[in-house]
């Protein structure tokens, strides 16, 4: 029974449970109650992610917030959420008769206002959009399915943020051959990891092609780039 709209449906839980039990073998030998609690923990994490409430304000319908927080941080260290995302992306691509791994990607960013209480090195001002807060940089496949995301202060340039995005992108999807980007990523060639490179195609910007090229294209097409990739992808996924 779904207690809140953010809870997993039976179908969603069935899919995620298979992935979780593959990655967390200790639960397979546990009691049925342990696996049921695993679902409650997942639901609690989704509730926190959707509503943005503090851990202490987690409703009593869920396990204690200390338990949920412990598992969340443990799974984050294990890279479990990335593994779930990768498995789900491959599943969707397979249903659409695509290869498991994409050969093309899109990179974009979105600056989001932070709360007045937020501070520290992760908060800055995006001078172009006049937003004080954080910037999330994402890479998706051409279906809009998320590959990786990084959160920086809003005053981080797209070119600098691309260093983190590209590094993880090539680790997760080494077969990438093309990347669509807007003009904010001009000069991002230095962010491409060793063993990968880019060259211009139908673009008004002149880019120099490094040696040892494996990546064939970084397409900087300005206004012809598919608009608002970050906003469309994150809004589609229900990210506030």
pLDDT of residue 33: 58
What would the pLDDT profile of 142-186 be if each residue is shown by its tens digit? 888 999 988 888 888 777 788 788 888 888 888 887 787 776 776
Q: Which residues of the chain have pLDDT under 50?
A: 190-191, 194-217, 220-240
Which helix (H) or strand (E) is 161 found in, with range? Answer: helix 158-172
Calpha distance 54→40 (Å, rounded): 17
pLDDT of residue 118: 60
How far is CA 209 from its chain centroid? 28
pLDDT of residue 155: 80
pLDDT of residue 117: 61
pLDDT of residue 221: 43
pLDDT of residue 37: 85
In whole angstroms, how far apart are CA 219 and each of 18, 123, 156, 185? 38, 30, 22, 10
Q: Which residues contact 183 (CB under 8 A, 6 or more apart)?
A: 205, 220, 222
pLDDT of residue 116: 61
Q: How far apart are the first and last CA of the chain?
A: 25
Q: At what angle do helices 32-51 and 10-23 cross, to 10 degrees?
A: 110
105: exposed, middle or buried (Cβ count in 10 Å: 0-12, 13-18, 19+): buried
pLDDT of residue 199: 35
């Amino acid at each position: 029974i779904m207690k809140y709209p953010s809870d997993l449906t039976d179908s969603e839980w069935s899919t995620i449970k298979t992935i979780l039990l593959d990655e967390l073998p200790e639960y397979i030998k546990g009691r049925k109650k342990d696996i049921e609690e695993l679902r409650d923990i997942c639901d609690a994490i989704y509730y926190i992610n959707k509503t943005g409430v503090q851990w202490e304000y987690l409703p009593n319908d869920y396990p204690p917030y200390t338990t949920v927080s412990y598992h969340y941080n443990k799974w984050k260290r294990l890279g479990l959420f990335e593994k779930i995302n990768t498995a789900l992306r491959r599943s969707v691509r397979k249903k659409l008769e695509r290869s498991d791994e994409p050969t093309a990607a899109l990179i974009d960013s979105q600056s989001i206002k932070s709360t007045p209480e937020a501070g520290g090195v992760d908060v800055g001002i995006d001078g172009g959009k006049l937003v004080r807060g954080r910037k999330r940089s994402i890479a998706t496949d051409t279906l809009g399915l998320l590959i990786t995301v990084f959160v920086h202060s809003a005053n981080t340039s797209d070119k600098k943020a691309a260093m983190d995005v590209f590094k993880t992108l090539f680790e997760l999807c080494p077969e990438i051959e093309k990347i669509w980007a807007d003009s904010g990523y001009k000069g991002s060639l230095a962010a491409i990891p060793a063993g990968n490179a880019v060259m211009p195609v139908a673009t008004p910007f002149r880019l120099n092609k490094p040696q040892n090229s494996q990546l064939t294209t970084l397409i900087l097409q300005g206004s012809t780039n598919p608009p608002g990739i970050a906003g469309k992808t994150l809004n589609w996924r229900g990210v506030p």
